[in-house]
Structures are given as structure tokens and as C-alpha cells.
Amino acid sequence: MKFASAYLAFATLAASALAATPVAAQSQTTQTDWTQRITMSDKGGHIMGNPLAKHRLAEYMSYTCNHCANFEAQSHDPLKSGFIQKGHISFEVRNLVLNPIDLTAAMLARCGGRTKFFGNHRAILTAQASWMQTFQSSSPAVMKSLSEGTIPERLKKIAKAADFYGLMQKRGYSKDQVNSCLADKQEQDKILAMTKYATGTLKLTGTPSFTVNDEPIDKVHSWGRLRPALLALSE
């Protein structure tokens, strides 16, 4: 009886240990990938990272700004792996539009909902040199024609001239979907409201500009200058 009882107790203990082992291993190895969490801010910007992060980094950018394209190229990997993924810093993209071309690109970046934004954002900025060259080499008459008609008509003309239709088609959008996004007045209002907040409330004068917890970071307009500021933030 004693041997049987001892054996039963040992077997029960061993079974419990075996059952617990995978759970313990999983708890040690499973970690939230905050770069996959995309939410929206009350200002209408797109946030990558922990919604409850201790520090909220925001970039105010323009799609026609070459420094913004450089920032995207230089910061894309190190910002995600070195800061956002840890969960103590979130990263939000907000608009500070400078011209109708910029507005057109901003409307298309937002096309398809929050989960599509950062892919659209990167694709547009990666191709910036190509589509900006189109406008820089256009005649005054062509540029004048882009400012004629209703706002949706102007945005469609700009999208056609820049071949944004082709760019978005590669990302899975039809022409009708692109036109629908360009005509979305609600999204346009969000973009213009962010611009007004950037220039009117925060008094930002250039792009890209950055804030941490809604406080502007003075004289920081590149990844090279932003990185040390982020390293100084506590985890």
C-alpha cells in the first residue's frame, strides 16, 4: 500500500511537471512584437507600437520633403528593432502638408485602413525621387492645369501625373479604390487638422519635426539627431 501510494504520488508529480514544462518555456520565449500593433491617435495619426508606451514619439512629415524620405530610409529598421519593439516607445506619423502634391500622397497613404498605412507610407517615400522628378520637369502649363477643377479632380490629376495609380496597383489597389480614397473628405479633414495643429499649436516650421509626449524636440530633423534623444529616454 505504501509503495503503491508513493508510486502514485511520484507519477502524479511527474505528470504535473511535464505538463508545466511547455507552459514555462513558452512564457519565457513569447514576447509581444509591438511593431505589429497599429492604432490611431486622437489627432488622426497612425501609431506603431505599444499604445500604453511610456514615451510617445511623433513625426510631423511631408511626402514631398526629401529629408522625410531620408528619415524613412535611415530609421526604418533601427527605430523598430531598437526602440518600438521594446515597448517603451511608440511611433506615430502625422501630416504637415506643404502643397497639393503632398496632400495627394497623404490621402493615398491612408488608403485601405490603419493596417495598410505604414506599407503605403514607405512605398510612397521610397519612390519619392522618381515621382517628384515628374513634377520638377513638368512645364508651367502642366503644373497650372493641376490646380484647376474641384479638389478631388485636382488630386486625381496629380495622382495620374505621378503614376500613383501604378504605385498603388502594385500594392493591390484598383483605380476605383484609389479614386475613392482621393475623394474621402473625412480623411482630408484629418490631414489638414494635423497640419493646422503642427503649425498653429506646436509652431513647427519644418519637416520632419519630432515630438515626444507632444513636446517638440528642438533642432532635431534627422535620424542621426533623433537617435541620441531616444537613447536618453528611460525604459
Mean of pLDDT values over 81-90: 97
Q: What per-residue confidence (pLDDT) applies to 31?
A: 82
Q: Give the integer Cα–Cα distance in Å for 153 and 157.
A: 6
Q: What per-residue confidence (pLDDT) applies to 63?
A: 98
Ranges of each domain in the chain = 1-30, 34-231
Residue 89 has pLDDT above 80, yes or no: yes
Is there a contact between 178 and 111 (Cβ–Cβ < 8 Å)? yes
Domain at 34-231, CATH homologous superfamily: Glutaredoxin (3.40.30.10)
Residue 211 has pLDDT above 80, yes or no: yes
The two beta strands, 55-61 and 46-48, are unpaired
Q: What per-residue confidence (pLDDT) applies to 64?
A: 98
Amino acid at 25: A
Residue 16 has pLDDT above 90, yes or no: no
Residue 223 has pLDDT above 60, yes or no: yes
How far does the chain reach from its first CA to its final CA, in angstroms?
58
pLDDT-derived band at 207, boundaries 50, 70, 90: very high
Q: What per-residue confidence (pLDDT) applies to 30?
A: 57
Residue range 43-62, pLDDT digits in tens: 999 999 999 999 999 999 99
Q: What pTM does this model have?
A: 0.86
Q: What per-residue confidence (pLDDT) applies to 25?
A: 40
Amino acid at 200: G
| Cα 129–Cα 190–Cα 60 angle in degrees, nearest 5 | 45
Q: What per-residue confidence (pLDDT) applies to 35?
A: 97
Residue range 124-139, pLDDT digits in tens: 999 999 999 999 999 9
Closest CA to 79 of 227, 215, 228: 227
